[in-house]
Amino acid sequence: MDYERSKRVVVWLALICVFALLMTATFTSPAFARGRYRRYDRRGRGRNALDDDARIRLNAAIHEMRKHGISPRINSAFRSRAEQQALYRCSHNRRCRARRGIYSANPPGTSMHEAGLAVDLGGIATGRRRLTPKGRQIVRIMRQYGFVWRYGLKDPPHFELSPRRAGYPTEKAVVRARQRRWLANNRARRRASKWA
Q: Is 186 part of a structural domain of the chain?
A: yes
Question: Which CATH number is 54's domain given?
Answer: 3.30.1380.10
Q: Is 70 part of a structural domain of the chain?
A: yes
Number of folded domains that form the chain? 1
pLDDT classification of 148: cutoffs 50, 70, 90: very high
CA distance 33 to 47: 15
- Does the pLDDT at position 65 exceed 50? yes
Question: How much is the pLDDT for 18?
Answer: 66
Question: How much is the pLDDT for 67?
Answer: 94
pLDDT tens, position by position, 83-102: 888 888 888 888 887 777 77
What domain range includes position 185?
47-79+111-195
Q: Is 89 part of a structural domain of the chain?
A: no
Q: Is 29 part of a structural domain of the chain?
A: no
pLDDT classification of 30: cutoffs 50, 70, 90: very low
Q: Is 102 part of a structural domain of the chain?
A: no
Residue 63: HSE in the Cβ half-sphere, 13 Å Cα cutoff: 7
CA distance 87 to 46: 15
Distances in Å between the Cα of 64 and the Cα atoms of 74, 84, 138 are: 15, 29, 9
Who contacts 123 (Cβ-Cβ below 8 Å, separation ≥6)? 72, 73, 132, 134, 135, 138
On average, the pLDDT of the chain sits at 78
pLDDT tens, position by position, 37-49: 333 334 444 556 7
At what angle are helices 133-144 and 52-67 packed, to 10 degrees? 140
Helix (H, G, I), strand (E, B) or coil at 151: coil
Q: Is 105 part of a structural domain of the chain?
A: no
Question: How much is the pLDDT for 27?
Answer: 46
Q: How many residues does the chain have?
A: 196
Q: Is 34 part of a structural domain of the chain?
A: no
**Mean per-residue pLDDT for 51-55?**
85
CA distance 188 to 114: 19
Question: How much is the pLDDT for 79?
Answer: 86
**Mean per-residue pLDDT for 7-30?**
64
List the beta bridge partners of residue 160. Answer: 118, 148
Q: Is 14 part of a structural domain of the chain?
A: no
DSSP E strands in 17-122: the ranges are: 73-76, 118-122
Look up the pTM and report it.
Answer: 0.69
Residue 33 CB coordination number (10 Å):
13
List the beta bridge partners of residue 131. Answer: 125
